[in-house]
Each structure stands twice: as C-alpha cells, then as structure tokens.
Structure 1
Amino acid sequence: MVRIVVLAALAGGVSVFAFAPFEYFLLGQVSLALLTRLLRGVRGARAGFLIGWAWGFASFVGGVSWLYVALNRYGGMPVPLAGLAIALFCAYLALFPAVAAALFVHFRRGAALRQAALFAGLWTLGEALRGWLFTGFPWLAIGYSQTPPSPLASFAPVLGVYGVGMLLALVASLVALTAWMKVGPSATGWAVIVVVGVAGHQLGKVSWTVPAGEPVVVALIQTNIEQGLKWRPERLADWLQTNARLAREHAADLVVLPETTLPLLADRLPAGYLDELARDARAGGGDLVLGVFLRDAQGGIYNAALSVGASPSQTYAKRHLVPFGEYSPPLFGWFYDLVDIPMSDQTRGAPDQAPMKLGGQRVAVNVCYEDLFGRELIRSLPEASLMLNISNLAWYGDSFAQPQHLQIARMRALETGRPMLRSTNTGMTAVVRPDGSVSGVLPPFTQGALRVPVQGYEGLTPYARWGDRAALLLALVAVGAGVVGARRRQPVDAPKMASGQAAQQQFPCKRD
C-alpha cells in the first residue's frame, strides 16, 4: 500500500504541470488516468481515501505553495509556522479528492463507461464543493488546465470550468479503464472519447457573442510597486506621484490602475489629488479606473474601484473577500497575532452592482480573487460588454500565482464570451479575448502600460444563462447512475470464488 500511495502522490505532482506556467494540458488527463488506475487496484473506501488524499496533497503543495510567500515574507509569520500553515491548508484541500476517490472505490461496478462516469461525476462534485465551502477555494480546479489550445476549452462557454473538468476526468478514466485495464468491452469507451473530441471541435466554431459598440483604446497600467515598501508611510508620496505620472503618460479612452494602487483610504488622500487624476483623464478624452479603499458612513472599509474622468464618477466594492487576508473568520482572531496584514478588516460590497458606463462600454469590474468564481461574475450579464479585473499579486512574489491567475482569467473570458482586461501591480497585466487567447501581456515585475484597442461584446453564452447548474446536474446524474448500478449488480470486485487461491489471483493487490 505504501508503494501505491507514493505513486498517487507522484501522479498528483504531475498535475501541476498541466497548469500555467507550464500548460502541458495533456498531463491533466495523464494524472487522472494514473489515479484511476491506482484506485482500480485496491479494495475498500479507506484505501481509496488514502490514495486520493495523497494525490491531492501533492497536487496542492506543488500548485499553491506560493501562499507561503505571503505568510512569511510579507506577513511576517515565522518559517516553521508558515510551513505548517501551508501543510495544514493543503491537507484540508486534499480531503475533497480523497472523498471522491473513496466513494469511487466503494461504488465502482459494471462496464468501463459506468465507472468512468461515476469517477467524473464524483470528481466534479468534489471540486464544486471545494469552490463553495467556507466561501470557497476553487484554485487548481482541473478544468483550468484546459485553456486553449486544449480541445476541451470549447466546452467552457457551455458547461464552465467544472464541466470542462468533468469531461477531462471522464476521458482520462475511460482511457485508463478501456485501453489500460481492459474493463469490459472497449468499443463504447473509445466511441465516447471520439464523440467528446468531435463535439469539442464543432463547438470551437460557434461564436456565442457578437461585437457591441465601437472599440475603445485601453491602457492597463502595471505599477510594479514592491509589496514590502508599499505600506511604508515615508514612501506614500512617491507612490502617489508614480500613479499620477503613469496615468498621465498613458492617456486612453479607458486607463486602469491596479488593485489598492493607492494604499490608503480615499478620504485621506491629499486635497485635490483625485481632482488632478480626473482632469488628466478628461484631458486625454477618457476615464480612469483605480483601486483604492473607500469608507462608508458607518465606518465600513471596502476594497474598491473608483472611476474619474469624462464620465460621472462610479464605484465598485469587492464582494467576495479573502478569509484571513481581508476579514477574519469566526474564532480565528488569533491568526492576526501571528501576521501583519494591512487593511485586514474589510466589509463586503453589495451582491448586485451595476457595470460602470465608461467610454461607450459597460465595464463589469471584479477585484483580484473574485474572478475565481464564474457563477458570481455572470451576475453582471448580459449588461456588461467588457470584464475588468484589477489585482495585486505582489503578495506572492515571483511564483506560479501570476501565470495561474492569468489562466483563470482566460477561462472566465471563455465562459462569458467577453474580453477580460487585467491591470495588476506586478503581473500578469493582459488583455484576454472572448475565445480565451491572450492578445497582449506585459512582462511581470516591470513598470509600464499595455495600450491596445478592445472591442466590447454582447449576448449570452449557455454558461452565462445556466451558470454551474448544467455541469452539476450532469455530475449528479452520473453519480446517481453509478450508485444505482452498484446496488443492482453483484460487485465485480468480490465475485464468488471456489477457492482462496482464485480470490488471490483476482486481487493481486490484496497483500497491500
């Protein structure tokens, strides 16, 4: 059993290379095919749980270890505690693939297609639960690894990231069960794989949304302000001057500065500072959107975007806050005795905020981590013609966080059929087309602006209409069929045998 657990961890580590910055998307299929193969070789839900947990722990340690940078380098948490915190967090995340694997081992019965559908459905429900429970952490959902040129990317406008992940899991497990393990007749399994491939090719030809209005010239500014210096009071004047200079030098129809680019409350800015930014934006014939903290009459503090310039001033307040970074979950106040995180007691914005009307377009703003939640972004549709994300990933240093976040933005563009604009502090500042391709990106950890014309779009993709409901319904049907089939059929993993020798031959992994 030890050997199998080690192999499961290696398979989980392989999955990291399916995501950005590597983007070897076929390794997502390879990783889940290996996991299916290992699960088919054991009996009992307990063994399945351990194998799934090992896969998940290795995948998350390799994929989100950049969280350590925020806790230790910028949060001031001691090395042993930061390492322990990351290990515990990854151990928690690994519970979701562990439970899916345990249930698969318990209920697997019948032909390869039935078993593959059961695996895919359980996997999808596990990822969806991880993306919802305790406000959710959907980072590294396996569907994100299938951005273009993966042929599964064309399913994103229909089924979203969870649906893409379900198809990946289905194909991977079918390959493992039909080609590798010869579980029942292989013709049906291969036919399903071919159908998925053909359907993906045909869906790739469909344009779900159409251009709307005249293109606007956008200037997405990357300020590249070191996180360790950003909050020092003696440097505040420098940062205010840097932001004003960059906005003035890169005039456009829409100029965007990143999340919390002004590291203080708006009501504490020097007198006339916002008026100066507004005059410069109007002089260039456009509008400026910038990240800043706002305070309401009750004292609530919001991580917000504020527009000034030719159009009336408008605001957006972040509604999906990050636990432990932007607010303290109940009973976790002690956490802030171990770290130093500025502005860590924030207030959620309203759930339904109208897009900003800027430059003849309707711009739906989301702040940093919010673009991980496709079901929340589609609330702004069909009104919005452009999607805009402002982020500050300087917290995570030079790590996988920047390219992984850009890959997530590419999935959001596919799901919504809208361009996704990204203005970040240290990277990756980019423009993503509605087909998920990147039309322009700035090198990370450089200061400058990405100035490009962008066309707005209108219309609704199927995902924008249904959200995650379609993928979750399919997953529930697949799991239900697998469970019902398991109850009706005699377990194939425990057939009646005439002798203990025959049973030993049937279960070569029994000694483990």
Structure 2
Amino acid sequence: MFRLLLTLLAAGLSILSFPPFHWHPLALVAAIPLIAALHGTSPAKALGLGLLFGLSLFAGTLNWLAFIFGPMAVLLFVMLALFPTFFAATLASLQKVAGTRTWFPFAVGIIWTGLEYFRSEWFTLRFPWITPGTGLPPGYLTPFIGVYGMSFIVVTGASALVMKRPKLGAALLTVAALATYLPRPKPSPQGPTIAAVQAEMVGFGSYLKLSRQAEGSIDAFVWPEYAVTPDVRENANQVEAIQKLLADTGARQLTLGSRTDHDDGSWSNTAVTLGLDGVLGTHDKNRPVHFFDDGEPGTEVPAFETPLGTISTTICFDNDYASIARRGTANGAELFLIPSMDAESWSARQHLQHAELARHRAAENGRWMVVASSSGLTQVIDPRGQRVSSLPLFDPGVLVARVDILSHRTIYNLVGWLIGPLCVVATAALLVFTSVLTRRQAKAGSVAE
C-alpha cells in the first residue's frame, strides 16, 4: 500500500507542476516518490506501479483530450502510460541484477531520458508533452542541454537521493533549481515590430480589419494557422488585399496559415509569407496533428530571406518537438514567426499547456518567437524563453511587440541536442546488459541447484 501511495504522490506532484496550476518547483521533486516506490521492488510489481503512475499522470494533465477524442482518449492515456511502465520495469530489472552501484542513479536518468526522447521525437505517435523538463520553466541550462537534458538531471538527482547518495542528489537538484529560478535580465529589443493577430476562423476580411487595428509602426504581421484556405496564392484578390494592407501600414511582410494542393489530390498545411512583390517563402507543416486531417507532412524546415532577415515559419505542432525548431535555426533562421491553431473548444488547460512548449524551443535555440494562435495563446517569447507579452485566451485582438534578429547558435543547437539520442542508444545498451546479467544469474542459480 505504501508503494501505491508513493506512486500516486509522484503523479500528483507532477500534475500540479503543469498548467493550469503552474507549481513548477514540484517538477524538481516529483520523481523522488516514484523512484522510492520502485526501489527494491520486483519487476512484476514495478510494471503495475509504472502503469498506475502513467495513467494517473496523463489522465490528470491531458484530460482535455476527452473533449477532442471522446472515449478514445482512454486508449491514448494507456499508450502514453506504457512508457513510464517500461521505465519502471527496466529500473527494477536492472536493480535486481546489478544492485545500486555507484553508477546506478545515472543509469536511471539515462533510461528515463532515453524513453522520454523516443516517446517524444521518434515514436510513430510521438507526443512531447508532459515531461520533467517541460514541467520546469526554461532556464540558464536550457540553451546548453534543452528539455531532455533537464529531465536527465532531475531524474538522476531524484534517483541519487533515493539510492542514499545525498550529496550527488542534492547537488544535481540544486543546480537544476538555481539554473531555473535565478533572475534573468529582461530584453531590450531594437529590431522589427511584429503584430500577431488572434482570432479563430473569422474570415479573410476580419483578419484584414484586425490587422489595421495594430497601433504604431508595424514591420510584419502574423496570422493564425488556417487563416486563409484554400491556397491564398491562388486568389489574386486576396494577395492584392494583403499587399494593400502592407502598403497602407508600411509593413514589409505578412505570414499566414494556408494550404498547398498537390496534383495527386493530397495537400499540405502551409505557412505562406507574402511581401509587396509576392511570395517570400513557405513552410509545410512537418508534424501534422495525430488523427486529424491536417495535410501531408513536410520534410524540410526552410529558413528564407525576407526584408526583416532570415526567418522560419514553423507551424503550431511543429514547435512542440525539439528537432523542428533546431533544424530551422541550423538552417539559418534568425527569427520565428509562427502561425498556430488551438480550437477554443479544446479548453483553456490545453491552450496553456501548449503555449509552454514554444518557450522551451525559443530558449533552446536562442531565438525570438512570435506565435499567432487562433484562440490563444498568442505570445511573444524572448531568446531566454521568457514570455514578454501575450493576449488573453479566446479574445480576438492584435499583439504588437518589438523583437530582435539574432544569428548566434546555442550550444544546444550545435551539440546539446544529442543528449536525447545518446540516451536512447545508452538505454538500449542497458537493456542488453540487464538481459545478459539476468541470464547469467539464472544459469548460475540452476548450476548451484
């Protein structure tokens, strides 16, 4: 019973670290009761504890999935829960054959991070929400090791405390806390002024009208995902109206969500950037939303020249994944202008959870990001992952903010991103190691008998 209570405590602490609660510091300690519950238990019992933790965590944070998928949401909770279940069984199996050696806390952190990265970036139904790294706000370590590196530090620290290595555990969790919560300087951008429009499926004319309400000198506009469909490039009247908006306001470009129809009948969810002289660049959504008719996935993350500088226009769900923004930055993007869509019916909790992920992408890559979301959260994020400004959820409006054009690349963008893939490889090696030791011990036991 005590192990069950510890498992539920771990899930509860994790749930409270995410929106709408925002009790972020709990993400630093949430793994401690989970690993304590698994410490010294059998692999069979660990399976049940891991499943209980996963189901409680994902049903408690992602319950808004029921608004979208109905009863099918239960299957999604089970699928996501399989990863902490496998983590728990692997931890217990490794401890059974190897004991709690000096390196064991690091092995626990590797296994967690390897499974987290696989679930988030490589799995067929990849879904990078609700992890220890994203439960914390971006901090000083984010541009070095990203969210997966933060998950590794937090879980390794928790494991060290449980395995009676208090100095190591306290040191790791203290570093994570200081890196997250020490004050950071506020930016004073001197670059272009961007106007991001928030409105859900209001029609082309309404987006134009809202754009004209932007106050001050505007350099660029961003409209939400699916703002103009069918393909805006095929409608000369709409292109002309956009160019008139640019000419009247003195802006130099506008990025909006549209689509590309292909000869074979398929289509792509496309962000189109228009200037006074025509199309400046496009981006096809790389990560269409699972189970939605969201277009064929794109394969490239272009960064293209505009009057403002080199930009990338990754779309909505693209920015949930660490790999997409990283590739855009590596390709030369100096600024991200992001059309996004979160339907109002998906709940405020969904909107707030989703909005946090773009903050991590900005901090990992050291870039300003301007997100124009259909019903929120429309936001401007600085290169440290701090939300500079935002609009209230669900209310149509225009958010105007100044940003900077930046070209440096972070350590994370250069090499730090490898932490996740390396943990996947190391997890596979630990699984082989565990299997070999299990067989040897079983063989030795049979010989002794």
Q: TM-score range by the shorter chain?
A: 0.7 to 0.9
Q: What's 1:27 paired with?
A: 26
> Which 5+ residue runs of structure 1 have no aligned equivalent?
72-81, 179-185, 231-237, 327-343, 497-512
Q: Is 1:317 equivalent to 2:306 in the alignment? A: no
Q: Is 1:90 equivalent to 2:67 in the alignment? A: no
**Distance change (3 Å), C-alpha of 1:485 and 1:97:** closer
The letter of the residue matching 1:304 is: T
Q: Is 1:407 equivalent to 2:356 in the alignment? A: yes
Matches for 1:72-151 after TM superposition, within 5 Å: 82-83=70-71, 85-108=72-95, 109-111=98-100, 113-131=102-120, 132-148=122-138
**Distance change (3 Å), C-alpha of 1:482 and 1:263:** closer
Q: Is 1:277 equivalent to 2:225 in the alignment? A: no
Query: Does the residue aligned with 1:28 lie in a helix, a strand or coil?
Result: helix
Distance 1:200 1:266 in 2: 47
Q: What's 2:194 paired with?
A: 218
Query: Does the residue aligned with 1:436 lie in a helix, a strand or coil?
Result: coil
Distance 1:25 1:9 in 2: 18
Distance 1:138 1:8 in 2: 22
Tell me by how many angstroms 1:204 deviates: 9.4
Distance 1:195 1:13 in 2: 22
Q: Is the 8 A contact 1:49 1:101 kept in 2?
A: yes
1:289 pairs with one of 238, 242, 255: 255
Tell me by how many angstroms 1:430 deviates: 0.6
Q: Is the 8 A contact 1:220 1:450 kept in 2?
A: yes
Tell me by how many angstroms 1:466 deviates: 2.4
The letter of the residue matching 1:296 is: H
Distance 1:62 1:263 in 2: 36
Distance 1:136 1:195 in 2: 28
Distance 1:389 1:293 in 2: 15
Matches for 1:332-481 after TM superposition, within 5 Å: 344=294, 346-349=295-298, 351-382=299-330, 383-394=332-343, 396-466=345-415, 468-473=417-422, 477=426
Tell me by how many angstroms 1:66 deviates: 1.2
Distance 1:113 1:431 in 2: 44
Distance 1:428 1:283 in 2: 28
Matches for 1:177-196 after TM superposition, within 5 Å: 177-178=163-164, 186=165, 189-191=166-168, 193-194=170-171
**4+ long deviations beyond 6 Å:** 202-205, 485-489
Q: Is the 8 A contact 1:166 1:475 kept in 2?
A: no
Which range moved further: 288-297 or 51-60?
A: 288-297
Query: Does the residue aligned with 1:403 lie in a helix, a strand or coil?
Result: helix
Larger relative contact order, structure 1 or 2 (CA cutoff 8 Å, min sep 6): 1
1:160 pairs with one of 125, 140, 146: 146
Tell me by how many angstroms 1:479 deviates: 8.0
Q: Is the 8 A contact 2:114 2:426 kept in 1?
A: no
Query: Does the residue aligned with 2:203 lie in a helix, a strand or coil?
Result: helix
> Which 5+ residue runs of structure 2 have no aligned equivalent?
none
Q: Is the 8 A contact 2:90 2:431 kept in 1?
A: no
Q: What's 1:245 paired with?
A: 209
Distance 2:395 2:213 in 1: 16
Identity %: 24
**Distance change (3 Å), C-alpha of 1:195 and 1:142:** closer
The letter of the residue matching 1:194 is: A
Give the structure-1-normalised TM-score: 0.76
Q: What's 2:14 paired with?
A: 15
Q: Is the 8 A contact 1:375 1:467 kept in 2?
A: no
Distance 1:201 1:30 in 2: 14
Q: Is the 8 A contact 2:269 2:284 kept in 1?
A: yes
Distance 1:264 1:6 in 2: 53
**Distance change (3 Å), C-alpha of 1:478 and 1:197:** farther
The letter of the residue matching 2:198 is: Q
The letter of the residue matching 1:106 is: S
The letter of the residue matching 1:140 is: I
Q: Is the 8 A contact 2:93 2:434 kept in 1?
A: no
Which range moved further: 433-442 or 285-294?
A: 285-294
Q: Is the 8 A contact 1:248 1:281 kept in 2?
A: no
Q: Is the 8 A contact 2:154 2:173 kept in 1?
A: no
Tell me by how many angstroms 1:413 deviates: 0.9
Q: Give RMSD over aligned pairs.
A: 3.1
Q: How many residues align?
A: 430
Tell me by how many angstroms 1:487 deviates: 7.6
Q: Is the 8 A contact 1:402 1:427 kept in 2?
A: yes
Please say which structure displays the higher CA radius of gyration: 1
Give the structure-2-normalised TM-score: 0.86
Q: Is the 8 A contact 1:25 1:145 kept in 2?
A: yes
Distance 2:403 2:52 in 1: 44
**Distance change (3 Å), C-alpha of 1:202 and 1:318:** closer
